[in-house]
Structure 1
């Protein structure tokens, strides 16, 4: 019934990866360990076995622990729908949609759910490793905080502060954090560590000692850059790069403004015969792309407008005329149809938006969200596909007569008459190795035959070993109380 919290001296310092590595290190010691993040903001969600949703990072951390994801591992999930508003998910279920300025009023009632979930995890595990959100240095957000020091003090959890040296200024990050914190908050911090160092670590010895001297905090080590990090699912859409070029076949994915569940792309990115290219705003879709993926979105109609603003609708039409293939997943599937209607204003103002017209289907948004893990049979090949559904809306139309898959004998998704445009609500389809190989071969791409799950497992083991080699992991775990 012990716990330890990793907070960051800034956003994107690598907290999620550090917690995953510590979870695996604790598991290797025979401990029954679980991850926990009080509040997460991400459109990259995972579906739990009991039909809830949590941040994808906590699902990866659960895997590092050898556990099934549970809603208690991330009791509050904020899913941005606009620049100023987000859907609030509490213990796996949607509570409301609120604007950022109004969210503070919700926090007092949300702390109860946070502590309830945390206590349940503590009661059933030897150790709970907690991930903070953003940074405690954002003291303007301290009132009512449930994600960093507000949680740490309410639950009496010791904190280790992580700094990111790759972006520079790590000395100021850590010393400055102590300087702005309330003394009682600062007293919760038991030490610090440095993440993402490139080069000769000894060159930072003087800086490391300076941080120790100025803060009085214990240092737990400097972690060199983990080169296999890209093989683990990214949590934040900002982590999606433009892709790599290795002479493989180009598969392009549109970087929508509200892109969601983009870990769908990870198994494709790991294929040596594929160059996965993220098409960022202002860029045209590459002419050489064999396949264009229109990914999931937290705001289907909003991202349809965004897509048109980039001229990607014109590019997609030209791509199909040239004989190219298109795959729409979830919100992307909805966009490929003739229209998306939202009569009740579930995702925004009520109304109907014309779709791209590449599939003969229409979508109507409905209040009920479908949250389920799914086992399906790919209709064209008969291969098994496992994944999950996380969407609102019902899609119908003539192209549904040619389904992408069948679930319990019922059609799922749609394929165009020419066979080049496909839509499906099934996230995670490419994690199925046999299906992925057959899908790529259908595009004329030689598949590697590698196991995606085995690759993620091997990377988690390598991460734990990397942290054991460079950090005082025993000391970190001994802090837990």
Structure 2
């Protein structure tokens, strides 16, 4: 099976971005809190509610080196929302939206620069993958605006409801193995998801899968439960349930 690592950065904003991969019969998701020697076919930097904090976490735990090692081995690195922002060259925060530092050096995986703004963008989008034409849909929720440099191409063409024209979105490296996007729910698009997974399979010398026999509902629930259990402090939740949530002011 393909092994996809998910960086367990602080304050992950959306676990549903990974559910589509859990449903795939040829994929195994693993949680990464530290640098590991285990070979990975892909690494995902997920969305986070604080990009500056996540960036420091990634460097402290050596997950930036994991990303470069994945790429050196022919794998793929993906950033979603805040994960996309931290993969760029710089993160600018002149208004102190997320950090007291006006500028942070990114991981330099993509030729993009993000500037934080005070107003949050919240929109639903539809569109297509520029290279393949695969249809996609999802939504954006973010504080920053990301400028794409000459070293990358836009990943998607998207538009919001009521718009007649498409705009470029995200970024992808020339070889197609480093992707960044603001679109949550992108991987729910089965054709695009399968294309990406087949790209990973090709790097392994494996034949593509044209269609995936869907695993049973029970198997999907078991896989999802395992993944959630890795990311959630279930003991603390049990303690809260047993003791009750204290009332404010008590």
Determine if the alignment matches structure 1 residue 263 to structure 2 residue 16: yes
| 1:396 maps to which of 135, 144, 147 | 147
Q: CA deviation at 1:276?
A: 0.6
Q: Which runs of 5+ in 1 are unaligned?
A: 1-247, 460-481
Alpha-carbon deviations, 1:340-380, whole Å to 9, x = none? Answer: 11110111324111000010110000112111111021111
* Contact kept? 2:75, 2:200, Cα under 8 Å: no
1:173-184 to 2 correspondences below 5 Å: none
**What is the match of residue 74 of structure 2?**
323
**What is the match of residue 209 of structure 2?**
446
Q: CA deviation at 1:397?
A: 2.6
| 2:188 maps to which of 431, 434, 448 | 431
Alpha-carbon deviations, 1:249-302, whole Å to 9, x = none? Answer: 10111000121112100110121110111112xx32454211100100100011
Q: Distance in 2 between matches of 1:416 and 1:384?
A: 20
Instruction: Give the SS at the match of 2:100.
Output: coil
Q: Which of structures 1 and 2 has the bigger CA Rg?
A: 1
Determine if the alignment matches structure 1 residue 274 to structure 2 residue 20: no
Q: Distance in 1 between matches of 2:151 and 2:124?
A: 21
| 1:371 maps to which of 118, 122, 139 | 122
1:214-233 to 2 correspondences below 5 Å: none
Determine if the alignment matches structure 1 residue 420 to structure 2 residue 177: yes
| Distance verdict in 2 for CA 1:418–1:439, change over 3 Å | closer
Q: CA deviation at 1:314?
A: 1.8
Q: Distance in 2 between matches of 1:416 and 1:443?
A: 15
**Aligned alpha-carbon RMSD (Å):** 2.3
TM-score, normalised on structure 2? 0.76
| Distance verdict in 2 for CA 1:250–1:346, change over 3 Å | same
* Contact kept? 2:45, 2:79, Cα under 8 Å: yes
* Contact kept? 1:344, 1:350, Cα under 8 Å: no
| 2:91 maps to which of 326, 337, 340 | 340
Q: CA deviation at 1:450?
A: 5.6
Instruction: Give the SS at the match of 2:109.
Output: coil
Q: Distance in 2 between matches of 1:351 and 1:451?
A: 47
Q: Distance in 1 between matches of 2:168 and 2:58?
A: 28
Instruction: Give the SS at the match of 1:265.
Output: helix
TM-score, normalised on structure 1? 0.41
1:233-248 to 2 correspondences below 5 Å: 248=1
Instruction: Give the SS at the match of 2:118.
Output: coil
* Contact kept? 1:440, 1:447, Cα under 8 Å: no
* Contact kept? 1:433, 1:449, Cα under 8 Å: no
- Which of the pair has the greater relative contact order for Cα pairs under 8 Å at 6+ separation? 2
Runs of 4+ with >4 A deviation: none
Aligned length: 208
Determine if the alignment matches structure 1 residue 292 to structure 2 residue 43: yes
Determine if the alignment matches structure 1 residue 356 to structure 2 residue 107: yes
* Contact kept? 1:400, 1:415, Cα under 8 Å: no
| Distance verdict in 2 for CA 1:257–1:448, change over 3 Å | farther
Alpha-carbon deviations, 1:214-250, whole Å to 9, x = none? Answer: xxxxxxxxxxxxxxxxxxxxxxxxxxxxxxxxxx110
Instruction: Identify, as 1 or 2, the structure richer in helix.
Output: 1
Q: CA deviation at 1:332?
A: 0.5
Instruction: Give the SS at the match of 2:131.
Output: coil
Alpha-carbon deviations, 1:396-452, whole Å to 9, x = none? Answer: 132585111001432100011332211000101111222222221122163653679
Instruction: Give the SS at the match of 1:366.
Output: strand
Q: Distance in 2 between matches of 1:400 and 1:259?
A: 28
